[in-house]
Amino acid sequence: MKKNKDIEVLIEESSKNKNGETITVHEMKIGKKTIGTVEVLSANKFEVYYDNELISTVKGLDEAFEEIIRQWNLFQ
């Protein structure tokens, strides 16, 4: 039976201007590769991007990260 490898996931927080507003952006990285980003629009509205395409709008940050991981697992 093949043993699963541990994968190190890093989340970096930054900010950017979008439509004249400064918003918080979280980048999810595996190694040096960015696999997805989450833009915080409000306290309960988060846009999830995978491969620079909007894939979902969710209500929580944890849900956003789960969506990125779900997409990454589909295409690996």
b/e 53-75 (16+ beta carbons within 10 angstroms → b) = eebbebeeeeebbebbbebbeee
- How are beta strands 45-50 and 9-18 bridged, if at all? unpaired
Structure tokens at 48: 């999830």
* pLDDT digits 0-9 by tens, 13-51: 999 998 899 999 999 999 889 999 999 999 999 999 998
Q: Find all residues with CB under 8 Å of 45, minimum gap 6, and list them.
A: 57, 59
Q: Does the pTM of the predicted model rise above 0.95?
A: no
Structure tokens at 39: 């833009």
